[in-house]
Structures are given as structure tokens and as C-alpha cells.
Amino acid sequence: MAALVTAAVLACFALGYRFYARWVGRRVFGDDEEIETPAHALEDGQDFVPTNPHVLFGHHFTSIAGAAPIIGPCVAAYWGWLPALVWVVVGTIFMGATHDFGALVASVKERGRSIADIAGGVLSGRARLMFLCFVLVLVWLVLAVFAMAIAGLFVAQPTAVLPVNIEIVVAVAIGWLLYKRKTPPLVPSLVALVLLYAFVYLGTLLPLDATALGVTPDQARKGWIAALFVYSAIASLLPVWLLLQPRDYINSHQLLVGLVLLFGGLFVAHPDFDAPALRSSAEGAPPIFPILFVTVACGAISGFHGLVSSGTSSKQLSSLKHARMVGYGGMLGEGALALAATMAAVAGVGLVTACELPGGRVVEDLSWGVYYDSWAHAGAYKAVAFVLGGGAFLESLGIPADLARTIMAVLVISFAATTLDTATRIQRLIVAEIGDALSVKPLTNPLVGTAIAVIPAVLLAYVDVTDPATGEAREAGWVLWPIFGASNQLLAALTLMVLALYFASKKRPVWALVIPQLFVTAVALAAIVAKLQDFLAAQSWPLVSIAALMLAMTLWMLVEGGLAVRRLRASR
């Protein structure tokens, strides 16, 4: 049953790309126009670089597909298999992919400007600055949490350290071959793929466990956080063709092979659903609406994707005709990842026998009912369902258990790591746009911008504050993380509003943008209000202040949108 549903979902993705993406591209976005892209017009060898569409697809796909589309569906499986899957399918095809595609095309037509910068043209100068500040805070949180998550996984899965970090060396070699020696990408990418999977196997034989040197797990984790931020800062300053782009390109092949293995194992194992189709919220669990939608988050639609589309990918697009494959196709890849995560959680965990769950909980025979016995456990275990359930799928192909779980851990860490370095570069560019908006020239300096991008995120990762949910001290980034899902959806809603106004000004039909924008706005506002109520009940005044500020900024942006609609109608 699970295999048949998986095949049906993949078929829906293919049909969405074949028909809906083509229609929305031509009728709404005008992606068939012949224009000189910013990659050619503003080519600088640093950020604006004309790129082979397959290489750019790899960069874009791995940049948007972080850990969130794995963690979110794994947590959302608490409500059964049907709600999560329906939202992944509908959200990906009609909302998320359209959002990413539109942001990419609009940015290309506006000389590579970010969606926040474009907001100034369709809304107002006030809205532009507010949008940029909203993005700045959101990306700081993303950087802090992704760094902490990757560091934690390095400590928990030392077998993944070697294969993940060797990607950096291989990427630099590939970048040099492609851009300096003008080598066609096929052969180097195949060699790189073999090397990366060889190091996955070597990682199981040579786990790089820092705790074996006498340091505590917490010290090892903090050391990894520092190393990750240093790497991200350097990567954001290097030419995009030297590290970021080739790393994402070769990594995309590794990740796509991993997805093929996952789905192949699923079809071979042919498991039944271990979860019910629908489960109502038990005591202590939030209501399915709106929390399901913001929990799945990037697995269906994400505001962060619009930043990638308009922040880095638009500056590398060689031809507008490539936008559909990169923008819409990249989101379908993320939808496939969310599908794999969901299936691992609702069917794969039923194939697992003895295992140890986070918190030292030892289980002799794992099942969906054991894993999701409470909402607290669903939230605490997060992506473990993907590693265990997906590992069980790989074992059905004859892959040894240790190697299977290492492959799954490398998938999770690699997706998160590629988002980390891309987010740092995007944050540097956002700081530069704020500098332009405020006429503060030092902010446009790459070194200054990178420092502003990284230092606040470092503080969020290192400074402990009291968690209102438990009363215990935790890193500020983790305490603030509950706001991310709602604020990320708010960003997506605002991006859809900007896109609708932008293309309406071009006299294009925009209902394909307006309908998703209205739905996502309702979901996001309901979620942020629910979070605000939780923070008020816990008397967590710092979190109350942040949530209230985000709510006020969003309402102000919506008012600006209403005024822009009035101006647009008056001009016709």
C-alpha cells in the first residue's frame, strides 16, 4: 500500500511539472521571453556567474532542501500518514514550486535583486526596509539552528564526519576543472559521486569521534559549531564557482542517488502503512490546524526558498528558459525528499526492530505507535524516524545496517550543510541591500556583511537562556526555534503577495499566486497567534516581544499590500 501511494505521489509531481509548471511559467511569469539574464549582464566572477543549468539545479536543489523537509514531515507523521502527504503534494505543486519559480523569474527580470528588494518597488520604501529586516532576523535563526543541528549530528554520528567534510575538497577540485580547465561536467561529476560514496563506506570504518580524544560531547559540539561558522564565512566570500556551486552540484548527485535508493528500498520492501490514515490530537498535542502546515513547512512551501531563488540562483541563471527546471523542478525535488521522510516515518519505522531512541530510550521492536506515543516524543525524536525508517528501506536492498544508517545520516547532514553556506552568502547580500536602502556604504563591504551575517548567529548558538517550556537553560537559537515555522510561512505569504503585485503590474493573470497567498497567510497568522498565546501563558516576555513584533510587521506589510492594490487599480 505504501509503495502504491508513493508511486502515485511521484506521478503527481511529474504531471505538475509537465503541465502546471509550463502553464504558470508562460501565462503568469512570462518565462518564454528573450532577455539578457543578470548572470551575463552583471557577470563579475564572484556572485554573478553564467552557469550550466544542470550545475545550477544541483546548487539550487541542495540549497533549499535543508534538514527542515526531513524533520517537519517526520514530526507531522504524529497525525497519521494522510494529512502530511496531502499537504506535501498540494503544497509542493500548487504553492511551494510556484512560489520558488516566481521568485526566480522576478529576480532575473529585475537584475538579480532579492525578493525583499523588489518589495520596495511594488509596495514602498518602508516595506522594502521592513522586509529586509524581517529576512535578516529569520536567516540569523536559520544559521544558528542549522549549525547546532549539524554539530549535534557530527557528535552523535561520527561515521558521517569524514564523508561530509571530504565534499569540500572534492568540490574545489570540480570547480577548478569546470571553470578553469573548461572540462565538461559529466565525467568529473561521476568520478566525484563514486568518491563521495566510497568515503561514506570509509566513514563507517574510520569514525572521527572527538570524544575519543577525551573531550566531552558538549565541548565537541561547540567546537564543531565554531568550525562550521568559520567554514560558512569563508565559503560566502569565495567566488561562487569555486566552492559553493560545485559542492552543491556534486552533493546533489549524492543526495539524488540516496533518494533513489530510498524509494527503491521502499518498493522492494513493499511495507504496509504502520500508521493510521488520520489521528486526532491527544492531550498535550496542538491542533492539526494550523500546526500541521507550519510543521511540514519546507516540505510544501518555504519563504526561505524565495531568498535562495532571488538571492543566489537568479545571479547564476544563464537563460530564462532554464528557470522552470531550476525553480519549479528544485521544489519538486524537495517535495520528493519530504515524501521519503514521511514514508520512513509512517511505514519504515515498522520494519525496525531493536534500536535506541534519543534520551536513551531502548526499544526492542519499534513501531509507529511506539515512536509517536506522545507529541512530546514526536517533537523530541525529529529526524530519527528518517534515519531509522529510511535505513530499514536500504537494508531491504541488501545494504548492511551500519552502512545504511551512515548513508541516511550523511543525507541529513549534507542537506543541512549546503543550506548553511548558502544562507550565509544570502545574509551577506541582504546586509548589502540594507546598506543600499539606508545609504550606509560600509554595510556593502563583503567582509563587514559576512561579519554581520555570522556574529549574531554565533551568539544565538552559544548563549544560553531560560526555556519557558521547561524552565531549563538552553541555547537561545533552540528556544527561539518554535517561531521559525510560523515566521517562515509568513515570509512565504509576503513573497507571494509581492509576486502577485509584481506580475499584476505586468498585466499578467495572478490568481495562481493570490489563492496560495491567501491560504498561507491565514495559516501563518493563525500559527503565530497560537505561539504568542503559548508564550504569554508561559510569561516568556522576550519570546512574546519577538512574536508580537513579527505579527505587527506582517500586518503592516499586508496593509502596504492593500494600498499597492488600490494604486494598481487606480492606474488602470
Instruction: Please compute the mean of the pLDDT values over residues 81-92 and round it to a whole number.
Output: 96
pLDDT of amino acid 468: 66
Q: Is residue 303 part of a domain?
A: yes
- Mean predicted confidence (pLDDT) in 194-211: 87
Domain with 12, as residue range(s), is: 2-111+141-464
Question: What is the chain's percent helix, strand, coil content, to nearest 5?
Answer: 75, 0, 20
> Residue written as cell 511505514?
347
Q: Could you give the CA distance from residue 370 to residue 362 in angstroms, rounded to a whole number?
A: 11
pLDDT at 262 over 80: yes
Averaged confidence pLDDT in the chain: 89
Of the candidates 336, 397, 335, 388, the residue with the CA atom closest to the CA atom of residue 358: 388
Establish if 29 belongs to a structural domain.
Answer: yes
Q: What is the DSSP-derived secondary structure letter of residue 317?
A: B
DSSP 412-442: HHHHHHHHHHHHHHHHHHHHHHHHHHHT-GG
* AA letter at 359: G
Helix residue spans in 463-570 (DSSP H): 476-480, 482-505, 511-537, 541-570
Q: How confident is the model at residue 470 (pLDDT cuts 50, 70, 90)?
A: low
What average pLDDT score do residues 340-353 get? 93
**What's the pLDDT score for residue 292?**
92
Mean pLDDT of 49-76: 89
pLDDT tens digits, 530-542: 888 888 887 777 7
Judge if the upstream peptide bond of residue 207 is cis by omega within 30 degrees of 0: no
| Domain annotation covers residue 565 | no
Is the four-CA dihedral 260, 395, 381, 376 of positive or negative sign? positive
Residue at 71 is within a domain: yes
Question: Does residue 129 fall inside a structural domain?
Answer: no
Q: What is d(CA 163, CA 364) in angstroms, rounded to the nearest whole number?
A: 30
Q: Which helix (H) or strand (E) holds 355?
A: strand 355-357
* 119 within domain boundaries: no
What pLDDT does 372 receive? Answer: 92
Alpha carbon separation from 421 to 114, 167, 173, 238, 292 (Å, rounded): 17, 13, 18, 11, 28
pLDDT tens per residue, range 124-160: 878 888 888 888 888 998 899 889 888 888 888 888 8
User: What percent of the chain has a predicted confidence (pLDDT) above 90?
Assistant: 48
Separation between Cα atoms, residue 396 and residue 336, nearest integer Å: 20
* Across 185-199, 396-410, 460-474, 480-494, least confident range: 460-474
Please determine, for residue 27, whether its predicted confidence score (pLDDT) is greater than 80: yes
Q: Which cell numbers in the block locate residue 106?
A: 522576478
Flag whether 562 is in a domain: no
Mean pLDDT is lowest, of 13-22, 453-462, 475-484, for 475-484
Q: What DSSP assignment string belongs to 75-144?
A: HHGGG-HHHHHHHHHHHIIIIIHHHHHHHHHHHHHTTT--HHHHHHHHT-HHHHHHHHHHHHHHHHHHHH
Per-residue pLDDT band at 469 (split at 50, 70, 90): low
Model pLDDT, residue 184: 87
Q: Does 242 map to a domain?
A: yes
The grid cell for 88 is 506535501
User: Residue 361 in 3-state DSSP?
Assistant: strand
CA proximity to 457, closest of 298, 225, 292, 121: 225
Q: Is the pTM of this model over 0.85?
A: yes
**Residue given cell 557530527 in the structure block:** 154
Counting residues of the chain whose pLDDT is more than 70, the rounded percentage is 99
Radius of gyration, CA atoms only, the chain: 22
Place of cell 559553493: 244
- Number of domains forming the structure of the chain: 1
